[in-house]
A and B are shown apart, each in its own frame.
Chain A
Amino acid sequence: MRLVANLLDRARPLFDEGGRLNFFKPVFDAGDAFFFSPATATAVAPHARDPLDVKRYMTTVIIALVPATLASIYFFGLRMIPVFIVSYAAGGAVEVLFATVRKEEVNEGFLVTGLIFPLVLPPALPLWMVAVGCAFGVLIGKELFGGTGRNLFNAALVGRVFLGLAYPKAMSGAWVEPGTGLLGRATELSVDAVASATPLALAKAGEFTATTDLFFGSVLGSAGETSALAIILGGVFLVGVGVASWRTTVSFLGSFAVLSLVLHGGDVGTVGWHMLAGGVLFGAFFMATDPVTSPMTSAGKWIYGIVIGVATALIRNLTGYVEGVTFAILLGNIFAPVLDETFIAASVRRLREQKA
């Protein structure tokens, strides 16, 4: 580490004000901050001491995603690794470009988007599509709204919807038969894309995949969303440490379960099956809980979760689509600012009345 520190310190003057490479300062800062904490300290009060800055926030999410990431490699092969690299490279290029033009720091928020995006894609999708989708998601979904913290929509889901509408054939024909045994497909470099039906598509035809397969994840599906076990492992950690809000997760899953129960005529087994299938769990733990695109107020979070849960159940059961989590969460994202505004205004009014 001493070596890296010396290298960075020696290069620093080049990027400082007046240095030859000043234009690329955001790029340098990103490299610097990746290895070390920034040396700058706030000079003026107030000084809030909170160890949970954006960097640690995002790092926590990455840790929570480790089980799902490993599961994707186990079930769908080592080809997932180039997929992750391409996703990071394409989205990162857009991020760095905007940071450089805006003269801002490259934000850690991207570390999550770059990893979470491939996890919601079919595993055998061509690499160039991964790149185009990620770049579109980061550009249209995030940067054009003002960058990390200002985006209205979840950038990864914007990218996914883009790919789904732009290349529907590729998106529905890039599944991979999951690996089995001790090592699964984790030793295989290339995979064969198949166009067979996912469990949810089969369910529309009345054929239900075994619940244990859904729980462990040996089914067709998006790379990171098949294994309920891996998602729950990471998700419970994420909710437990308070980075993801339990209110969003509970209200999403709860409202989805209740409405599904009504739509399936009280059949608890089928509802349980639906909870494990598709992207419901991944969405509830990792996607809907995105702190930027979900409401800040507690009451807002409850309603936001209910909107998503209800929309998911309705899309799954009453439309031609087999899965609705992506659309439902984007729909919820639209409501998030309105919900916050409403509940904050209500609190302010209540406080005023108390004072009066």
Chain B
Amino acid sequence: MATNEPIACTTCALPGGPCGGKGIATLKDGVWAQNPISIQILGICSALAVTNRLENSLVMGVALIFVCVGSNLFVSLLRNVTPRRIRMIAEVAIIATFVIVFDQILKAYYWEMSKQLGPYVGLIITNCIVMGRAEAFALQNRPVVSIVDGVANGIGYAIVLALIGFFRELVGAGTVFGHVVMPEWYVPNQLAILAPGAFVALGFLIALFNALSGANEEDEGTQP
């Protein structure tokens, strides 16, 4: 393993580097081209549940980056010694460890935030993004590039959550990070804070991402 080499983007792109030449592509996939939420539509439950405020969204994003990186690294390190038949159990055990660590840190130092997020930090154990990356990526790849994949998918998730959280807090309460930013005459639109508002916001965001990336373009010629 080449962990002692400096991890710079120039070496990531090189075939001989620690990422085996897949560094940049992996990063791009996770954040944009294969974004777990806007393209793969995974992890929607938490994306809808905790995004009523920007602060919550960011903490949740950090939690997912932490768990995804940790689980990807260890699943990858153990990939050659994990018996195939019990690999899922092993993955869940690794993921759960990191989730509990994060949850305990939150409880110890950020009690208010922990209360706000409620069960959703614990539920990262069942988050299909984390599990999916472990299964689809870390099991087949070397540790360093697995970390890159964990970071990329975590960031991809965090960006989408932050955008939804920003929009919902702004429209639903007229605030950003709890500070009032909308003018006095603004009447908060309470739908934005409710679950339906999250669906609408996510729908528009996915539409926007698709429009920007040209994905899911309907082929006019094949229309009936």
A140 nearest CB neighbor, chain B only? B200
A168 touches B190 (CB 8 A): yes
A165 touches B200 (CB 8 A): no
The CA-CA distance from A166 to B186 in the complex, in Å, is 13
Segment 183-205 of B: residues with Cβ below 8 Å from A: 187, 189-192, 194, 196, 200
B200 touches A166 (CB 8 A): no
B191 nearest CB neighbor, chain A only? A166
Residues of the A chain whose Cβ atoms lie less than 8 Å from the Cβ of B192: 166
Residues of the A chain whose Cβ atoms lie less than 8 Å from the Cβ of B200: 140
The CA-CA distance from A282 to B187 in the complex, in Å, is 30
Q: Interface size for chain B: under 10, 10 to 19, 20 to 34, or 35 or more residues?
A: under 10
Shortest CB–CB separation between residue B52 and chain A, in angstroms?
14
Residues of the A chain whose Cβ atoms lie less than 8 Å from the Cβ of B190: 165-168
**Contact flags (1/0) for A157-200 with B, using CB distance below 8 Å?**
00000100111101000000000000000000000000000000
A165 nearest CB neighbor, chain B only? B191
Interface of B is mostly: helix
The CA-CA distance from A168 to B193 in the complex, in Å, is 13
The CA-CA distance from A170 to B187 in the complex, in Å, is 10
Shortest CB–CB separation between residue A292 and chain B, in angstroms?
19
Shortest CB–CB separation between residue A301 and chain B, in angstroms?
27
B172 nearest CB neighbor, chain A only? A166
Residues of the A chain whose Cβ atoms lie less than 8 Å from the Cβ of B194: 165
A167 touches B196 (CB 8 A): no
Shortest CB–CB separation between residue B142 and chain A, in angstroms?
44
B187 nearest CB neighbor, chain A only? A167
A129 nearest CB neighbor, chain B only? B187
Segment 168-218 of B: residues with Cβ below 8 Å from A: 187, 189-192, 194, 196, 200
Shortest CB–CB separation between residue B61 and chain A, in angstroms?
27
- Choice from A165, A168, A170 contacting B196 with Cβ under 8 Å: A165
Max chain A C-beta neighbours (<10 A), residue from B187, B190, B196, B200:
B187
Residues of the A chain whose Cβ atoms lie less than 8 Å from the Cβ of B196: 165
Max chain B C-beta neighbours (<10 A), residue from A162, A165, A166, A168:
A166
Residues of the B chain whose Cβ atoms lie less than 8 Å from the Cβ of A140: 200
The CA-CA distance from A140 to B204 in the complex, in Å, is 10
Residues of the A chain whose Cβ atoms lie less than 8 Å from the Cβ of B187: 167, 170
The CA-CA distance from A170 to B190 in the complex, in Å, is 12
The CA-CA distance from A166 to B171 in the complex, in Å, is 10
Shortest CB–CB separation between residue A322 and chain B, in angstroms?
19
Shortest CB–CB separation between residue A165 and chain B, in angstroms?
4
**Contact flags (1/0) for B96-126 with A, using CB distance below 8 Å?**
0000000000000000000000000000000
A132 nearest CB neighbor, chain B only? B189
Shortest CB–CB separation between residue A184 and chain B, in angstroms?
30
Shortest CB–CB separation between residue A159 and chain B, in angstroms?
12
The CA-CA distance from A167 to B187 in the complex, in Å, is 8
The CA-CA distance from A83 to B192 in the complex, in Å, is 25
The CA-CA distance from A140 to B200 in the complex, in Å, is 9
Max chain A C-beta neighbours (<10 A), residue from B191, B194, B200:
B191
The CA-CA distance from A170 to B188 in the complex, in Å, is 11
B207 nearest CB neighbor, chain A only? A144
**Contact flags (1/0) for B119-148 with A, using CB distance below 8 Å?**
000000000000000000000000000000
Segment 120-179 of A: residues with Cβ below 8 Å from B: 140, 162, 165-168, 170
The CA-CA distance from A140 to B199 in the complex, in Å, is 12
The CA-CA distance from A162 to B189 in the complex, in Å, is 10
Shortest CB–CB separation between residue A43 and chain B, in angstroms?
22
Residues of the A chain whose Cβ atoms lie less than 8 Å from the Cβ of B189: 166-167
Shortest CB–CB separation between residue B125 and chain A, in angstroms?
32
Shortest CB–CB separation between residue A46 and chain B, in angstroms?
19
The CA-CA distance from A167 to B197 in the complex, in Å, is 13
Shortest CB–CB separation between residue B163 and chain A, in angstroms?
19
Residues of the B chain whose Cβ atoms lie less than 8 Å from the Cβ of A167: 187, 189-190
Max chain B C-beta neighbours (<10 A), residue from A140, A162, A165, A170:
A165
Residues of the B chain whose Cβ atoms lie less than 8 Å from the Cβ of A165: 190-191, 194, 196
Residues of the B chain whose Cβ atoms lie less than 8 Å from the Cβ of A168: 190
Residues of the B chain whose Cβ atoms lie less than 8 Å from the Cβ of A162: 191
The CA-CA distance from A34 to B190 in the complex, in Å, is 38
The CA-CA distance from A165 to B190 in the complex, in Å, is 7
Shortest CB–CB separation between residue B211 and chain A, in angstroms?
13
Shortest CB–CB separation between residue B19 and chain A, in angstroms?
41
Shortest CB–CB separation between residue B171 and chain A, in angstroms?
9
B194 nearest CB neighbor, chain A only? A165
Residues of the B chain whose Cβ atoms lie less than 8 Å from the Cβ of A166: 189-192
Shortest CB–CB separation between residue A90 and chain B, in angstroms?
16
Segment 23-80 of B: residues with Cβ below 8 Å from A: none
Shortest CB–CB separation between residue B202 and chain A, in angstroms?
13
B200 nearest CB neighbor, chain A only? A140
A-B contact pairs, 5 of them (CB 8 A): A165-B191, A165-B196, A166-B189, A166-B190, A167-B187
Q: Identify the A interface with B (CB < 8 A).
A: 140, 162, 165-168, 170
Q: Identify the B interface with A (CB < 8 A).
A: 187, 189-192, 194, 196, 200
The 7 A-B pairs of least Cβ separation, nearest first, read A166-B191, A166-B189, A165-B191, A166-B190, A165-B194, A162-B191, A167-B187
In addition to A140-B200, A170-B187, 13 A-B residue pairs with Cβ atoms within 8 Å of each other are A162-B191, A165-B190, A165-B191, A165-B194, A165-B196, A166-B189, A166-B190, A166-B191, A166-B192, A167-B187, A167-B189, A167-B190, A168-B190
